[in-house]
């Protein structure tokens, strides 16, 4: 049993959207729907300013509010710590969308089901990397088992002192270098 | 807005329905002669709830396409929505039974009515807890919001019942001073709760402060001040106070006593007050959904 997580190095991200496109391909999403959203944040005072590009998707929280509010148990956490949506149970009430801290969920126009990043669970099962990770042109994304201290992701998190976006708001599992 | 006008209407109708049920139960005991009011409350209650539930089903698109999925709504006891589904189901059963007995002119089983009253309160509270437990939206995530929703549910319940009943029996509506006094109390409490909520949350949280700002001075300020505060609260408070004051005066003069005995006074006041309370009740829920500012995560 693993506890899958990811690290995103925003210093390496060039905002090329390749991860978003590969995610859309992998999940057969229409152009206007995506599981990865891009945010830009400017900090500092001129001339010492920093502009960050921050890709945000489902953070696969261990104490995910979407899992607890979902009235039909359509949203659930796998043994490997991946938060998934059972499409045959979702009624599209959008309670999860309201409860998600990261605005990571989108409702499918076609089915009305609310979907989100699945850490490419079917690829991971085969020992492969999620589409966004293998596509990233600058290796800004590292995926792996957070419980294994020797995994690339665990080592990178320690090395770069990566932190979740809002550790005070919940136990999310995507760590950011900023 | 993830949850928009449809959900606002549903929250409003659920509260209104619960309030109407409680109003009729109260009137049945306190004013047994006011049959029109009692019957009205008992009949509109399940009808309004049913309309609300239909709206909810319409909004849940995936469920609309696969209706059997709604059965899963009863499964997650960690979710306020599941708990609410139980509350509404029990309330709906009791309200439909009470309405049916009223139509058949049969005696209502009082234990079923007690259960109905209990689940009416639960339903009204639930509409507040539904959004009150959402930690991602600080303006909702306050202990005062469920209380505000309950007070508003009772107030709109009284208004809805009185409005419909006044078409059948305007005299009875006028005679129920006790209900008018309760209504005035509820409306005043609502004003107090709204401003307490706004003041305290905007000091405790930046996102909540932003929400409050969009309401009192930003995007939604016109509809907030004119729709909710002026039409929904101040106007009915003024009319109700005036009517209660007038009534007190009427008892002091002989002509007044005669007029009161004859059951004079049109239904204009009732129509204005009660419709504006209903308008305000809907606007309150709509604004709270519209002004949801989530916590920043970047």
Per-residue model confidence (pLDDT) at position B234? 96
Q: Which residue of A has its CA nearest to B73?
A: A72
**B298 domain-assigned:** no
Closest by Cβ to B76, choosing from A73, A92, A112: A73
Chain B residues close to A90, C-beta within 8 Å: 62, 69
A167 touches chain B (CB under 8 A): no
Per-residue model confidence (pLDDT) at position B266? 65
Q: Using one digit for the tens of pLDDT, what is the confidence trace for B97-117? A: 999 999 999 999 999 999 999
Q: Which pLDDT band holds residue B168 (cuts at 50, 70, 90)?
A: confident
A40 touches chain B (CB under 8 A): no
Per-residue model confidence (pLDDT) at position B256? 62
The CA distance from B191 to the nearest CA of chain A, in Å, is 27
Chain B residues close to A112, C-beta within 8 Å: 60-65
What integer is the mean pLDDT of B127-136?
Answer: 96
Residue B262 pLDDT > 60, yes or no?
no
Q: Which pLDDT band holds residue B172 (cuts at 50, 70, 90)?
A: confident
Query: How open is the CA angle A8-A104-B1, to the nearest 5 degrees?
Result: 145
Q: Which pLDDT band holds residue B263 (cuts at 50, 70, 90)?
A: low
Residue A136 pLDDT > 80, yes or no?
yes
Percent of chain B surpassing pLDDT 70 = 95
**B86 domain-assigned:** yes
Q: Using one digit for the tens of pLDDT, what is the confidence trace for B23-72? A: 999 999 999 989 999 999 999 999 999 999 999 999 999 999 999 999 99
Closest by Cβ to A98, choosing from B59, B78, B134: B134
Percent of chain A surpassing pLDDT 90 = 98
pTM of the model: 0.93
As for the ipTM of the complex, it is: 0.91
Residue A20 pLDDT > 80, yes or no?
yes
The CA distance from A157 to the nearest CA of chain B, in Å, is 18
Mean pLDDT over the full length of chain A: 96
B298 touches chain A (CB under 8 A): yes
The ranges assigned to domains in chain A are: 4-177
A–B CB contacts, 8 A cutoff, strictly below: 108
CATH class, domain A4-177, is alpha beta
Higher-confidence position of B264 and B92: B92
**B94 domain-assigned:** yes
What integer is the mean pLDDT of A8-17?
Answer: 95
Mean pLDDT over the full length of chain B: 92
Chain B residues close to A41, C-beta within 8 Å: 298
Closest by Cβ to A72, choosing from B73, B130, B131: B73
Per-residue model confidence (pLDDT) at position B176? 85
Q: Which pLDDT band holds residue B265 (cuts at 50, 70, 90)?
A: low
Percent of chain B surpassing pLDDT 90 = 83
Per-residue model confidence (pLDDT) at position A60? 97
Chain B residues close to A93, C-beta within 8 Å: 56, 59-60, 63, 81
The CA distance from B114 to the nearest CA of chain A, in Å, is 27
Residue-range definition of the domain harbouring residue B213: 5-290
Considering its fold, how many domains does chain B have in total? 1
Per-residue model confidence (pLDDT) at position B270? 82
Q: Using one digit for the tens of pLDDT, what is the confidence trace for B26-35? A: 999 999 989 9
Per-residue model confidence (pLDDT) at position B268? 78
Per-residue model confidence (pLDDT) at position B217? 96
**B154 domain-assigned:** yes
What integer is the mean pLDDT of B1-17?
Answer: 96
Residue B259 pLDDT > 70, yes or no?
no
Closest by Cβ to B62, choosing from A54, A100, A113: A113
**B295 domain-assigned:** no
Q: Residue B208 sits in a domain of what CATH number?
A: 1.20.1630.10
Q: Which residue of B has its CA nearest to A166?
A: B297
Higher-confidence position of B1 and A112: A112
**Three-state SS sequence of chain B:** CCCCHHHHHHHHHHHHHHHHHHHHHHHHHHCCCCHHHHHHHHHHHHHHHHHHHHHHHHHCHHHHHCHHHHHHHHCCCCCHHHHHHHHHHHHHHHHHHHHHHHHCCCCCCHHHHHHHHHHHHHHHHHHHHHHHCCCCCCCCCCCHHHHHHHHHHHHHHHHHHHHHHHCCCHHHHHHCHHHHHHHHHHHHHHHHHHHHHHHHHHHHCHHHHHHHHHHHCCCCHHHHHHHHHHHHHHHHHHHHHHHHHHHHHHCCCHHHHHHHHHCCCCCHHHHHHHHHHHHHHHHHHHHHHHCCCCCCCC
Q: Which pLDDT band holds residue A59 (cuts at 50, 70, 90)?
A: very high
Residue B264 pLDDT > 60, yes or no?
no
């Amino acid at each position: 049993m693993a506890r899958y997580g990811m690290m995103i190095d925003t210093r390496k991200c060039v905002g090329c959207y390749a991860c978003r496109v590969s995610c859309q391909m992998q999940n057969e999403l229409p152009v206007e729907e995506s599981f990865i959203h891009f945010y830009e944040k400017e900090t500092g005072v001129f001339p010492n300013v920093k502009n960050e590009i921050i890709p945000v998707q489902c953070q696969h929280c261990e104490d995910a509010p979407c899992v607890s509010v979902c009235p039909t148990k359509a949203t659930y956490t796998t043994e490997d710590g991946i938060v998934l949506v059972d499409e045959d149970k979702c009624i599209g009430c959008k309670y999860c969308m309201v409860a998600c801290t990261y605005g990571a969920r989108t409702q499918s126009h076609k089915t009305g089901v609310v979907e989100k990043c699945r850490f490419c669970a079917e690829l991971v099962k085969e020992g492969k990397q999620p589409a966004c990770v293998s596509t990233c042109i600058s290796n800004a994304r590292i995926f792996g088992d957070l419980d294994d201290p020797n995994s690339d992701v665990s080592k990178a998190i320690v090395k770069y002192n990566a932190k979740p976006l809002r550790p005070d708001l919940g136990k999310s599992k995507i760590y950011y270098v900023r | 807005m993830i949850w928009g006008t449809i959900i606002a209407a549903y929250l409003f109708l659920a509260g209104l329905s619960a309030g109407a049920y409680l109003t009729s139960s109260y009137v049945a005991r306190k004013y047994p002669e006011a049959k029109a009011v009692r019957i009205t409350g008992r009949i509109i209650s399940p009808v309004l709830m049913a309309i609300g539930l239909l709206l909810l089903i319409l909004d849940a698109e995936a469920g609309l396409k696969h209706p059997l999925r709604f059965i899963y709504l009863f499964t997650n006891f960690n979710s306020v929505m599941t708990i609410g589904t139980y509350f509404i189901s029990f309330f709906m059963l009791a309200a439909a039974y009470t309405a049916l007995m009223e139509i058949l002119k049969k005696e209502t089983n009082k234990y079923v009515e007690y259960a109905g009253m209990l689940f009416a309160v639960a339903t009204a509270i639930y509409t507040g807890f539904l959004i009150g437990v959402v930690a991602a939206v600080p303006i909702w995530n306050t202990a005062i919001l469920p209380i505000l929703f309950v007070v508003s549910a009772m107030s709109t319940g009284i208004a809805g019942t009185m409005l419909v009943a006044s078409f059948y029996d305007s005299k009875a509506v006028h005679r129920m001073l006790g209900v008018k006094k309760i209504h005035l109390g509820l409306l005043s409490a609502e004003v107090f709760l709204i401003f307490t909520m706004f003041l305290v949350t905007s000091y405790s949280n930046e996102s909540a402060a932003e929400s409050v700002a969009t309401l009192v001075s930003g995007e939604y300020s016109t509809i907030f001040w004119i729709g909710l505060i002026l039409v929904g609260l101040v106007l009915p408070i003024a009319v109700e106070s005036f009517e209660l004051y007038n009534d007190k005066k009427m008892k002091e003069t002989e002509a007044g006593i005669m007029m009161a005995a004859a059951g004079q006074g049109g239904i204009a006041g009732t129509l204005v007050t009660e419709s504006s309370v209903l308008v305000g009740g809907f606007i309150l829920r709509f604004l709270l959904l519209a002004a949801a500012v989530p916590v920043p995560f970047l």
